[in-house]
Amino acid sequence: MKKLNRVFILTLMGLAWPVFGQGVSEYTVKAAYLYNFAQFVDWPKSAFAGDTSPLVIGVVGDDPFGDSLDDAVSGKTASGHPLSVKRFGAFDAAHAAALAHCQMLFIAYSEKDHLRDILQALDGAKTLTVSEIDRFPMKGGMIQFDQVGDKITLDVNPSAAKHAGLSMRAQLLQVSKIQGSEE
């Protein structure tokens, strides 16, 4: 647990810190980033059913996190909303509407061939999209995890977030590479 807390502190500070050699897995670090995104992105009140409704972090596709994501958000809140995790498995049209009920959605690399359909299903939703899919921000996504050596970096598309009614705080933007959508 001490290592996980250390990752939270470092990611909260916005550092792209090399942790893989420190015994912390890549997806433990990415889970900590997802938790911190909930602290550095503002959702409109209309994104929630009520004032204390959970902030749902969804995972669509092959879940790379294991227990790391659940551990990262267990007992935590963001702006008064308890954090919860929901997993969807591979994308299909049957649960496309359910994705829009997530305030944050991690789109696994396994869904790269369905990315357009997923983003289309989320059009108009107040959902922060996060992925590792190449050129994700240029394809209309909001935050892409990238890697330089053993450091995780972030590419963000604030315009896509704004289109969804979300606001990325300066602390997040300062540690990210700003990208735009391809037209």
- DSSP β-bridge partners for residue 105: 58, 129
- Our separate counts of H helices and E strands in the chain read 7, 10
Amino acid identity of residue 181, one-letter, is S
Give per-residue pLDDT as tens, 1-35: 444 444 444 444 444 444 455 668 999 999 999 99
Nearest to 106 by CA among 149, 151, 73, 150: 73
* Per-residue tokens: 5: 């807390």
Q: Whole-model pTM?
A: 0.88
Nearest to 33 by CA among 122, 132, 135: 132
Give per-residue pLDDT as tens, 117-144: 999 999 999 999 999 999 999 999 999 9
Nearest-angstrom CA–CA distance, 43 and 58: 16
Nearest-angstrom CA–CA distance, 141 and 4: 27
